Amino acid sequence: MTDQYIVPNIWCQGNAEEVGDFYASVFPDTTAEVESRYPETGLLDFQKPLAGAPLTVAVSLSGYRLTLINAGDEFAPNPSISMFLMFGDAAFGGREAARRTLDQVWERLSEDGTVLMPLDAYPFSPHYGWVQDRFGMSWQLSLNDDDDADAEFVMPSLMFGGAAQNRAAAARDRYIEVFDNAALVGSFPYGEQTGPATADALMYSDFRIGEQMFAVMDSGVEQDFTFDSGVSLEVHCADQAEIDRLWNALSAVPEAEQCGWLVDEFGVSWQIVPADMGELMKRPNAFEHLLGMHKIVIDEL
């Protein structure tokens, strides 16, 4: 996907290169490379052990961009945000080839991982499973009857549980309202009380922001986790005006604001950054200036 507007970021605990190499070996048509490094000077005390180390690792998963953030043990991914991978017949050369590829990916992700839903036939998919890999990131793998070879392979999926239980519809509607060129695709409520999910809570819903698909759901079982910065959504803004608008619309936790990061009213972490952030960070002392910011002000980098 070229010029990807929203890029999921995965927090890694000092091992982003290892995680990237693992994903490049697991997924079809996937590469990983160090994109940026910490400067040698000007770091905060807790960052000093990472001086000169990779800061971000760029993963291209069949053309879909993920960013691995190399940092400390402050956060870790959890299943509240997973990546839904859709193995379509056309994209993988037929049903048998798609199923075979899915099974190979499942086997690798399951090594030293945790199966959250076993690989099996379900009412919504003939072959589906949900697994948390050895690094804590969660993946949903589904065999799809899709004759469009260009259909999206990766879709971020947000599960609302714990403190965010039964707020999936409100969050979906808010995101569609806030982002340009956003629209509802499908919506399927539970229809009856299911564990902590109320009858009108969402069993599944998907929507688009621009060309990208996203899914939301309310958990049907009690969860002891919810959203945090283990997985964040990085928005590449065209200019300062777009940064200002999205920041004002989304930021709901002032104490969480730092370096372009914010937390919205549902607990989801976002990074609101300029689309040319990589180039801007090449300015003299840009990293030090960034550390002092809440919302990014381009002219002050």
Alpha-carbon torsion angle 170, 11, 285, 37, nearest 10 = -150
CA 147/CA 169 separation, integer angstroms: 29
Burial 144-161 (b: 16+ CB within 10 A, else e): bebeeeeebbbbbbbbbb
Total residue count of the chain as it appears in this document:
301
Instruction: Report if residue 225 sits inside a domain.
Output: no
pTM of the full predicted structure?
A: 0.94
**What was the pLDDT predicted at 148?**
66
Which structural domain, as residue segments, surrounds residue 49?
Answer: 6-76+230-300
pLDDT value at residue 1: 44
- Which pLDDT value is given to residue 260? 96
Alpha-helical regions (H) of the chain: 16-26, 95-110, 168-178, 240-250, 277-280, 286-291
Q: What angle do CA 105, 31, 271 make, to 5 degrees?
A: 100
pLDDT value at position 149? 61
By C-alpha distance, which of 268, 19, 53 is closest to 137? 19
Q: Which of 189, 218, 247 is the last residue of a domain?
A: 218
Query: Are residues 201 and 128 both part of a single domain?
Result: yes
What are residue 157's phi and psi, to 5 degrees?
-125, 125
Q: How far is CA 150 from CA 1, 28, 73, 91, 127, in A?
A: 10, 15, 38, 7, 21
Is 186 inside a domain boundary? Answer: yes
CATH number, domain at 29? Answer: 3.10.180.10
**End position of a domain, from candidates 188, 218, 248:** 218
pLDDT in tens, 251-291: 999 999 999 999 999 999 999 999 998 888 888 888 888 88
Residue 110: give its domain's CATH number. Answer: 3.30.720.100
Q: Are 138 and 78 in contact (CB under 8 A)?
A: yes
Instruction: Tell me, yes or no, whether 106 lies in a domain.
Output: yes
CA atoms within 13 Å, Cβ hemisphere of 145: 3
Query: Does residue 65 form part of some domain?
Result: yes
Q: How far apart are CA 88 and CA 216, in angstroms?
A: 21
Enter the tokens of residue 46: 């807790």
- Both 85 and 71 in one domain: the answer is no
What pLDDT is stored for residue 288 in this prediction? 84
Per-residue pLDDT tens, the chain, 301 aa: give them. Answer: 458 999 999 999 999 999 999 999 999 999 999 999 988 888 777 788 888 888 999 999 999 999 999 999 999 999 999 999 999 988 898 999 999 999 999 999 999 999 999 999 999 999 999 999 999 999 999 998 876 666 789 999 999 999 999 999 999 999 999 999 999 999 999 999 999 999 999 999 999 999 999 999 999 999 999 999 999 999 999 999 999 999 999 999 999 999 999 999 999 999 999 999 888 888 888 888 888 899 999 999 8
The tally of domains found in the chain comes to: 2
| 1 domain residue, yes or no | no
Is-contact 19 135, C-beta < 8 A?
yes
What's at 204, amino acid-wise?
Y
pLDDT digits (tens, 9 = 90+) for 102-134: 999 999 999 999 999 999 999 999 999 999 999
Last residue of a domain, one of 218, 252, 286: 218
Residue 144, C-beta contacts closer than 8 angstroms, at least 6 positions apart: 86, 87, 88, 89, 98, 125, 151
Q: Indicate whether 224 belongs to any domain.
A: no
Cα separation values, 122 from 83, 84, 143, 195, Å:
18, 15, 11, 19
| 207 and 266 in a common domain | no
Q: Which residues of 208-220 are buried (b: 16+ CB within 10 A; e: fewer)?
A: bbeebbbbbbbbb
- What is 135-192 written as a DSSP string? TS-EEEEEEE----TTS-SEEEEEEE-GGGTT-HHHHHHHHHHHSTTEEEEEEEE-SS
The pLDDT score that the predictor gives to residue 2 is 54
